[in-house]
Amino acid sequence: MTLIFGYFFGIGLYLLFRVIIPGIYVVEQNERAVKTVFGRAQRLPKASTLEEPAFEGMLNEDEKERYRYPQMRVIPPGGPYFRWPWERVHKVSVATELVDIAFDPEDRKANQHNTILEAVTKDQLNIGLRGQFRYTVSDKNLYAYLFGVKNPLAHIIGYFVAILRERIANFEAPVREQGAAAPSGQTSLIAEIRGISINDLRKNLGELNRHMEEECRPSAARYGITLDAALITAIEPPAEVESALAAINTVRNEVSSDISLAQASADQKIVQSKRAVEIETLRAEAEVQPLRQLAVQLGELKKTGPHALKNYTRNVGLALYSKARKILFATEEK
């Protein structure tokens, strides 16, 4: 009897420490979990990520066939939960992470020890880029993150860097940032100065960051990672062209200043000319207005009788005679 009791007691201890206690787990607030049974992930029946409203419009028809993933049964924060020995729980942090764009999780010596990312501009300059991007694991596409990609972080960084380098290699600044048309002579001069693409990149970092965010938006539907924001903070040219770029920038600033002064002077003269025309117009109207009023009054006076205008003219003439010093009368020659 004691032997049998000891046997069952040993089995109970084994189940307690090898099955029950290891099978209890909790999911933290910044985590999501997925359970696999004999290596197969638990999923929602007949549901794919293409039916997720958050991913609508992110993929074209060709990509929808390649990035069709099943929707998983996601275990929310809380617990305790229980799993059997043949089940495995995969926990994923959904907190927002900040990563340097030069970071390479597979090679710590790449990109100058993960400090600066190299790229080539349209005019064949090797430049260095510094910045970061934020990413969050999408709990609506955990299958792609856990099972679709071998190393999700390395994959998404490579995806981001490829888009960034392609954009820099083909980047051109807008022809007229102000939206106004410049004279033909100024256009050719400005076009010459705008030929330095690194200057265009430095002036349009905001546009570059917005482009990266837009281009990386489908990453959640493809790889299960949402790129929240891209922030390119610095663009460093090669040391041998730094002084040349500084000189070009100086000349550009001088030319821009001269153009701005000339435009301001021309605008001021145009405004002065408009004001002079307005003043002369007002003066002419001031002189014409009394004559118009007099014509109206004479027309009303004429309606009162046939001799009204003649009497009015005689009275006006008498008033003038009283003010005159000399009066000359025309006489007929005999």
- Domain 97-239: CATH superfamily, name plus number: Band 7 domain (3.30.479.30)
Confidence of residue 333 (pLDDT cuts 50, 70, 90): low
pLDDT digits (tens, 9 = 90+) for 86-139: 889 888 888 888 888 888 888 888 888 888 888 888 877 788 888 888 888 888
Q: What is the pLDDT of residue 173?
A: 66
Phi, psi of 204 (to 5 degrees): -120, 40
Confidence of residue 189 (pLDDT cuts 50, 70, 90): very low
Domain limits of the chain? 2-92, 97-239
Beta bridge partners of 78: 27
Q: How many other CB atoms sit within 10 Å of the CB of residue 36?
A: 17
Tokens (6 digits) for 14: 């084994």
pTM comes to: 0.60
Over range 162-175, report the average pLDDT.
79
More confident residue, 252 or 240: 252
Burial class, 63, CB count within 10 angstroms (exposed 0-12 / middle 13-18 / buried 19+)? middle
DSSP letter at 179 equals S
d(C-alpha 93, C-alpha 165), whole Å: 29
d(C-alpha 313, C-alpha 300), whole Å: 15
**What integer best gives the mean pLDDT of the chain?**
79
Instruction: Check whether 192 has a pLDDT greater than 80.
Output: no
Confidence of residue 180 (pLDDT cuts 50, 70, 90): very low
Q: What is the pLDDT of residue 174?
A: 61
Confidence of residue 182 (pLDDT cuts 50, 70, 90): very low
CA-nearest of 128, 132, 126 to 101 is 132
Tokens (6 digits) for 81: 């939960």
Q: What is the pLDDT of residue 190?
A: 46
CA-nearest of 208, 211, 177, 169 to 193 is 177
Instruction: Check whether 239 has a pLDDT greater than 70.
Output: no
263 and 257 in contact (C-beta within 8 Å)?
Answer: no
More confident residue, 312 or 289: 289
Cα end-to-end span (Å), the chain: 175
SS3 assignment for 181-200 = CCCHHHHHHHHHHCCCHHHH
d(C-alpha 108, C-alpha 85), whole Å: 37
Q: What is the pLDDT of residue 65?
A: 82
d(C-alpha 67, C-alpha 222), whole Å: 6
Beta bridge partners of 128: 118, 236
Instruction: Check whether 184 has a pLDDT greater than 60.
Output: no
